[in-house]
Amino acid sequence: MADTKREIERKYEATDATRLPDLGRVAGVDRAVPRGRTELDAVYWDTPDLRLAADSLTLRRRTGGADEGWHVKFPVAVGVRDEIHEPLSDTLPPTLAALLRSRVRHAELEPVVRLLSSRDVHHLLDADDTLLAEVSVDTVLAERLAGEGSGATATWTEIEVELADDGDPAFLDAVEKRLRKAGVRPAASSSKLARALAETTPNRDESGGDTSITYTAGDHVLAYVREQIDAIVRLDPAVRRDLPDSVHKMRVATRRLRSTFKTHRTILAREVTDPLGAELKWLAAELGLDRDQEVLDERLGSHVEELPATLALGPVRGRLRAWSAARRTGARRRIIDVLDGKRYLDLLDALHALSADPPLRPAASRKPEKALSRAVVKDHERLAARVEHALDLPPGPERDTALHEARKAAKRARYAGESARPALGKPAGRFVKRVKAVQSLLGDHQDSVVARDALRTLAIQAHAAGETAFTWGLLYGREEAAAEARERELPEVWARAAGPGLRADLKHR
């Protein structure tokens, strides 16, 4: 089983002549204890086109040190990474290979850099001998093993300060203050691998980019599309690690991307995006199986907990848990199977191909203000037609279905506004805010529809088992009242999102 730790560290430039200042004078430190020298031999792996390095990921096999073995590091924030470790073996462990699959896909991994580090370690301890941080002075020899610059070497010395588990990140500020007073400055590279690649790449272009670019409608749409593709790829390992809210976020990214393909058909050719949209719909559905049940569980569970004991008749909590468990059995295994499947990897390849060589139509070269505002207004008109149709229907199943369709249109209009916001500015921001309010209201209404269906099923099961169905009927009535309340609120919420001034502001940009 892979071990995971949150690594919080800072790196500093040094030379062979650099001497550590007395870190025992840092606030909170009782003494700095030398722990000796360790020799480390690490080989870093990547695809030939360095996909992992491009996303600031590292995969290495390291010998020497207390944690020798295979390591994968995922960036979390500046100076913060999640390190996942597997014991030393000759081949890459399958658990780590799976976490990298969304980046690697069908490519091969190969050794790209070897780092030989001579590490002089010091522990910073408080008065109770509790470890506060580990300070290392590393003398590094890097050798490029593959790709451009193969055979090139680089050497440097750096200081690394790693916070102890459960330590206060503010402590690193105190250590840095002491180091700076001694003339030690933060490192320019975020990792040893990044520095090794930079220093062994011949003819590096360090010039700045062109800041006088005029952005087209296609540029803005592609920026949003690439953002969603990157989110899907980035969230894949989080879903595999079962991190909180990762499935939901990945599903939202697939929906945003599919919606953008529909909204901007004048920008991106449908013969390419329509098949991708169909595959994204499939992926969202697969991801939604467990997520929808999770949302339903939270809603029904909170309702049950709010009931006074006098109204919770029969084994209500136990039946709800059993019903939920039966519906969720195997859901996570199914998600992992989907992410490991050829269909999903082919979709990622196709999305990467679209990002690298987008199927732009002539309208993509136009100025963004007019082209994007027109697309947003069109989606808003589509939403208006669905809301007005739903409001014209009498309460009941037909109206529930119409409101659900309006909810989907609200999502599409909201995502359209999001994609246009960099070009249209504040008017698009206001548009997104107003439409999101409509979407939220309609979403709560739809959740109530789904909850009522579940409550009816639970009532039938309880009755068949000889239990009273009173509580399930009570909750059904409350959900029915909640849906009616949302329907009464809709005209006012919609009026704020339907004002002609909102669309006019978009058109006049």
Specify the pLDDT at position 339.
95
Are the CB atoms for 100 and 237 separated by under 8 Å?
Answer: yes
Question: What is the CATH architecture of 3-199?
Answer: Beta Barrel (2.40)
CA angle 168, 182, 179 (to 5 degrees): 15
Among 14-23, 50-59, 219-228, 241-250, where is mean pLDDT lowest?
14-23
The pLDDT value given to residue 438:
97
pLDDT of residue 96: 96
Question: Residue 401 in contact with residue 445, Cβ under 8 Å?
Answer: no
CA distance 141 to 114: 8
**236 band by pLDDT with thresholds 50, 70 and 90:** very high
Name the E strands within 148-227.
153-163
pLDDT for 211 beyond 50: no
**Comparing C-alpha atoms, which of 94, 49, 107 is closest to residue 349?**
107
Q: What residue has token string 């004002």?
A: 499
Q: What is the pTM of this model?
A: 0.88
Could you give the 3-state DSSP secondary structure of residue 80? strand
User: Sign of the C-alpha dihedral, residues 179, 184, 188, 190?
Assistant: negative
Taking residues 2-17, what's their average pLDDT?
Answer: 88
For residues 212 and 333, which has the higher predicted lDDT (pLDDT)?
333
Tell me which H or E stretch contains 220: helix 217-240
User: What is the Cα–Cα distance from 51 to 48, expressed in whole angstroms?
Assistant: 8
Numbered ranges of CATH 1.40.20.10 in the chain:
217-507
Residue type at 340? D
pLDDT for the residue numbered 31: 92
Spatial distance between the Cα atoms of 497 and 433, rounded to a whole number of angstroms: 9
DSSP secondary structure code for residue 188 in this structure: S
- What is the domain class of 217-507 according to CATH? mainly alpha
Helical residues (DSSP H) of 269-315, grouped into ranges:
270-306
Q: Is the pLDDT of residue 1 over 60?
A: no
User: How many Cβ atoms are within 10 Å of 118's Cβ, its own excluded?
Assistant: 15
The rounded mean pLDDT for the chain is 92
Angstrom distance (rounded) from CA 48 to CA 105: 13
Cβ neighbours of 427 (radius 10 Å)? 22
Q: Convert 226-255 to b/e letters by CB count within 10 Å (16 or more is b).
A: bebbebbbbbbbbbbbeeeebbbbbbbbbb
Give mean pLDDT, residues 199-223. 74
pLDDT attached to residue 370: 87
Rounded-to-integer distance, Cα 504 and Cα 509, Å: 9
- Could you give the residue range(s) of every CATH 2.40.320.10 domain in the chain? 3-199
H-run or E-run covering 328? helix 316-328
Question: Where do runs of H (alpha helix) occur along 329-396?
Answer: 331-340, 342-356, 368-392
Task: Enumerate the H helices of 154-216 as residue ranges.
Answer: 170-181, 192-199
Q: What does 104-141 look like in DSSP terms, one character per residue? A: HTTSPPEEEEEEEEEEEEEEEE-TT--EEEEEEEEEEE
Q: Per residue in 161-202, pLDDT tens?
A: 999 998 999 999 999 999 999 989 999 988 999 999 999 988
Query: What are the tens digits of pLDDT across the range 459-473?
Result: 999 999 999 999 999
- What Å distances lie between residue 105 and 58, 102, 254, 346, CA to CA? 16, 5, 18, 8
Over range 411-419, report the average pLDDT: 95
**402: pLDDT strictly greater than 70:** yes
Residue 226 token pair: 């690439």
Mean pLDDT of 81-98: 95
366 within 8 A of 217, measured Cβ to Cβ: yes
pLDDT for position 289? 80
In the predicted structure, residue 404 carries a pLDDT above the cut 90: yes
